[in-house]
Structures are given as C-alpha cells and as structure tokens.
A and B are shown apart, each in its own frame.
Chain A
Amino acid sequence: MSCYTVLCYKNEYTMITPQFTDEAVKDILRRITGLDLQKVFRPIKQELKAPTYKLMTDEQLEQAVALAKEQAEKLLQMPPVLPERTPISDVLSEDRVLEGMDSAKYVFTDITYNIPHRERFIVVREPTGTLRKATWEERDRLIQVYFPKEVRKISPPHIFKEENLKMVFSQDQHEHVLNLCLVQFEPDSSEYIKVHTATYEDLEKHDKYDLLRSTRHFGGLAWYLVKARRIDGLIVDMLKRQLLQDAVSLVRLFHMVHPDTESAQEAANKEATNIDLLTIYAQKESQRSGYIELALQAYKQPAAEALAA
C-alpha cells in the first residue's frame, strides 16, 4: 500500500498525506540520517579478542569499505512508527456456574511453536467465571514467559519511570534508552510511544540532535518533529554543521507532509530549490525565522569567502 502526495490545487485533487512507510519519505529520512562509519561501527562492550591485521591493496580496501557501508545501512534500518494499538476487551463466554470456584485468574496460552505471536490465542478465566481474551500487556508478559527474548524483561525495567528518564537524559544517554525501549516493548504499545515522545521532546528542548545522527532512531525523530511542525531547531542545527542538503530535504519532507501550509504552496508555485526553499520556509512558516536567516547567512559567508579567494 503506497500513498503519494499530490502537490496540486486543493479543490481539484484529493490530498493523501504520506505515511512513514512510503518510499519517498524513507529515502529522505535515510539521507538525513547520514552514514558516519566511525559512529556506526564504534567499539562495543564485548569479550576481548586479539586484533586481526589484513594487508590489502587499494581496490580491496575500497571493496571492504563498500561492504562496510552496506552493513551499516542494514544496521541503520529504522524501527517502525505505528499508531497505538486498540485495547482488547472481548469476552468469549460468561459462565456464572464457575463463580467463586477459585480466587485466582487462570491464563490459558497456546504455546504451539510455529505460529506468529500476533496469532496466538491467550485467554483469561476470571474468578467471576468470565472467559475473556487477555489484554495486550498480559499477552506481552506471557509471550515473554513462554518464548523469552534476550534482554527483554517480564516487567519493564525502572529506567522507563519519569525520574530515571530525566536522570538518563541529563547524562545524554538517549540512544541507550531508545535501544532498550526497542528491545522491551512492541512498536505499537503505549509505553513505546510514550518513551519515544519523551525522548524526542527532551532532544528538541535541549537541541541535542547530534546524539542520534547516524543511528537508526534519527528517522523517527525527524518524522515526529515534522508531524508536530517543530523542525526549526533541527534546521538550525543542520545549518550550523554545514549540512545544507539535509536541511533542504527536511523542508521538502515538511512540504510533502503538510501541503496545505503557506510555505508549501509558495514553494510549489515558485518551484524553489535549495537555499530559496529554506528562505521561503524561514519567512512563512518558522517561529525562529531570525535564527534560520542568520544561520543561512553564516553558511553563505564561507562559500562567498571561498569564491572571493
């Protein structure tokens, strides 16, 4: 299922907003994330082995670097962004005969090995006799009991509580929290969305976007900011680091997702590219337009100096 935006006249064509899964959107987000091989392949904490040395010709070295880039792109696969799952509240049967038989709930789980977890039947018999389907939290807990995944705990770790999250953010460990969240929760669960929202909000508040650059979480961050219409901080950060093309791609993505804004319509009319796009966005849409214009000038200055020299 692919949806394409139609940047045309509103009354003639129906607008279909692009989703996270669209190829165009993914392509832009992948380009914005960047590919810093030194950061992607930084040494991880593992059992120490003696180093291996290889003698290579230039060609072999280039081949090895290309292979590394492919591997890095696989590692930078973006985790899915899904809407929150609807809670399960289906009652299968009401058996008053069984009321008061026991004081505990009985949970029946289907532990057939070859079925996907989303098709697994898990039902709960309450002490009142009702037989109902298990809620999402109960499902996740029980699937972890019978089919344990490594590092995932049965009850979520204390790091996801408010105070601990604040402490972790103050130590700039956002990537660690997001990785833990990916391991612990399902992508459509409410805790996953809450943790991600809290992390993205903190990053936006303190302008710490560079922590997630060249990680798999950058796409999610950019998508969240674009949806919330708060991409000013990110654009300023990109311009400070001399990443003009990334800023331009981000603004283009913004226009794709919100085609009804003034800047999107003006950009479509003028068919602007690169710096003009940014200036149009800065004038029309952003709250920190002064900042963006300053940053643009600061970007143009070294280019002008290089031309003059």
Chain B
Amino acid sequence: MAASMQLIGNLLCRITPSILQPLRPFQSLQRIPGQPCLRTSPFMLPSHSFCNEASAEKAAKPKVVTSRYKDRPWDYLESEEYIEKYGTSSVWTGYRRNHKGGIPPQKTRKTCIRGVKVCGNPCPICRDPNIIVHHQNVKLLKQFINSETGIVYDPTRTGICMKQQKLLVKAVGTAKDHGFLTFQIPYVHFSEQDFSSSHDAVGKTPPPPSLSAGDSWYKWYGEIIPDETEVAKVKKIYADYLK
C-alpha cells in the first residue's frame, strides 16, 4: 500500500513539477531558526490535483513574492515579525553555508534567486523577502558593517550571495553620500596664505582689444605678400574644396 502510494506520488511529481516550485518560497517564509522545517509532503498533492486539475494548472503559474515593506523597507526592522525572528542579533548570525570540505569557497554563490527559482539554503537576505537592501535602511546596513573599523564584512563571513553583496556595497556607498551613515574624514590642513585671488589666473585682466570690421585677423597679415606661384599650386591641389 505504501509502496503504491509512493509510485503514484513519483508519477505525479514527474507530470506536474511546476506545482512543486511555488512551495519553496512559502517554505522559506515559514522557516523559523531553531524550529524544525515544516516540509509539506508531496503526498498531499495527489488529492488536490485529482479534484481541481484545471485550477491547479492555472495556479501553476509561479508568482514572484513581493513584500509588504517594498516602499518602506526600514519599517520591517521595527516590526514584531522581525523581532520574533531575529531578536537583537543581526540577520546573518547563525547562518551556515553548505559546502564540501572544511574550507569554504572564498566566494559565496553568485545568486540565490534566479527568476522565481530559489536555491536550497538561501542566504540571510534572500531567505526573507521582507529584508530589502536599500540605502535608507540604515539599521540593516549597519549590521553588515564593522562598527569599529567602518569596513563592510566579507561575504564569506556573513554568508550572503555575491549579487546581494554588490547591492549592499552600492547601498552603503549611497547612504554615506546622502548622509545616512557617517565615516571617518581625514584632517584637512589649512595653510595661511593660500586664498588670495590677486594672480592673473583668477583675478581681473583687462579685456582684449576687439577686432573692428575692416581689421585682419593678425596685424601682420596685411604686410606679408604671398608668392603667386605657391598660391597657384595650393589652389590647384585643393581646387575641389575651394568655394
């Protein structure tokens, strides 16, 4: 009995693979650290698909998960949801990358989400769609910056994917530019006599004598008499271009 159910399950898995896909984002939403993962078993599917095959095919079109906090991502870090999930520790504490061997690869994965497909064990930012890297989301950005040195942590330490790391570095740069984050500014030394504007380069110079209608371009133009043969030669060469 159990074996036949398994076979039916496998068959249906092969026929309707797209139905399984939307499960994963919802799985990551429900995953709370410290508690066992609630994997919805594939055995629940058969009855569902037998009853409403038509609607299942319609529902099979995968949806991109949009967060409630899309316009104001900094509100999420004050919400109860966030405090329940993470408490006072940062978003990336406790996350462990999956890799072969003792030494992790020196670059984290390129990206966790390609289109709608999410990888297994997504990084701390990708696994929670409410966490959005934005230059005004200062609380989140500060979690990825060392408070003593002011340097952004390496992705091998925080575990975030390379795409999110790039976005994070860009957001930190914009935040510093707009004044949301402070940083160390080197001391500027002012010496005493630097600021006079008496030199000709920056001061007033008398305007040049302007050309009146009859004057030639340079004063000595009128005095030089051109050689007739040379002029004829040049005119011959450039005959096509002369007006």
Contact = CB atoms under 8 A, between A and B. Distances in A.
Q: Do A and B originate from a single complex?
A: yes
Contact of A90 (B180, B199, B205): B205
B149 A46 contact: yes
B208 A45 contact: no
A168 interface: yes
A79 interface: yes
B207 A180 contact: no
B241 interface: no
Given A93-B208, A119-B201, A151-B185, A158 B178 contact: yes
A288 B177 CA distance: 39
A165 B211 CA distance: 50
Given A82-B195, A94-B211, A45 B201 contact: no
Interface string B115-150: 000000000000000000000000000000000111
Interface stretch (A2-10, A171-179, A300-308): A171-179
Interface residues of B, number: 31
Nearest to A173: B182
A82 B194 CA distance: 11
B148 A45 contact: yes
A298 interface: no
A147 interface: no
B190 A80 contact: yes
Interface residues of A, number: 48
Contacts of A108: none
A160 B187 CA distance: 19
A92 B196 CA distance: 21
A92 B205 contact: yes
B41 interface: no
A46 B148 CA distance: 7
Contacts of B186: 150-151, 183
A188 B202 CA distance: 13
Interface string A118-140: 11111000000000010010010
Nearest to B136: A167
Contact of B179 (A94, A120, A177, A182): A177
Contacts, number: 91
Interface of B (DSSP majority class):
loop
A121 B201 contact: yes
A88 interface: yes
A118 B205 contact: no
B236 interface: no
Given A119-B199, A176-B182, A182 B149 contact: no
B207 A90 contact: yes
A45 B149 contact: yes
A57 to B, nearest CB: 32
B177 to A, nearest CB: 5
A164 interface: yes
A120 B182 contact: no
Nearest to B183: A45
B217 interface: yes
A194 interface: no
Contacts of B187: 75
B188 interface: yes
Contact of B196 (A47, A118, A120, A121): A118
Given A45-B149, A92-B208, A97-B217, A183 B199 contact: no
A187 interface: yes
A91 interface: yes
Interface in A201-241: none
Interface string A99-130: 00000000000000000101111100000000
A50 interface: no
Contacts of B190: 77, 79-80, 187
A150 to B, nearest CB: 6
The 5 A-B residue pairs with the shortest CB-CB distance, nearest first, are A45-B150, A159-B179, A168-B179, A179-B185, A119-B199
Given A151-B186, A188-B197, 13 more contacts: A45-B149, A45-B150, A45-B184, A48-B149, A75-B187, A90-B205, A91-B208, A97-B217, A173-B179, A182-B188, A183-B186, A187-B190, A187-B195
Interface of B: 148-150, 177-180, 182-190, 194-197, 199-202, 204-205, 207-208, 210-211, 217
